[in-house]
Structure 1
Amino acid sequence: MNKDQIEGRVEQAKGKIKEAAGAVTGNESLKTRGHAQQAAGKVQAGYGDVKEDVKDGIKKTADRL
């Protein structure tokens, strides 16, 4: 697991908390910011996943040589 995967998933969790707090308090702005933070975290985690996949692919190719 790399830094982007971890940070992205943390941002997703923080966004879920914000979104839930916004829903409970009726604060649409907080709810929207939480949703946006989740989306940004998902993108960052996805980027980290791709980096990890590429790294694994390169390692497997090198092992075959």
Structure 2
Amino acid sequence: MNKDTIEGNWKQLKGKVKEQWGKLTDDDFDVIAGKRDQLLGRIQERHGISKDEAETQVKEWEARDGRTPAGLWYEKS
């Protein structure tokens, strides 16, 4: 999947992410920018949960949304 497609996916998903984890700020979304590991870290920080709990929540969210992580996230840089 090319970078433009991933960026497009992220723009579409931001609203859904915001609904799920309402404590995330616009600044958080700028940092996350489609990176799964950044999303996990920001969820942990803003919601005061463990890394394992953040991972569980994101996996459940991905499953409900019917998408796979490979189709959603930028690769780590």
TM-score, reference length from structure 2 = 0.28
Higher relative helix content: 1
Instruction: Give 1 or 2 for the bigger CA radius of gyration.
Output: 1
TM-score, reference length from structure 1 = 0.32
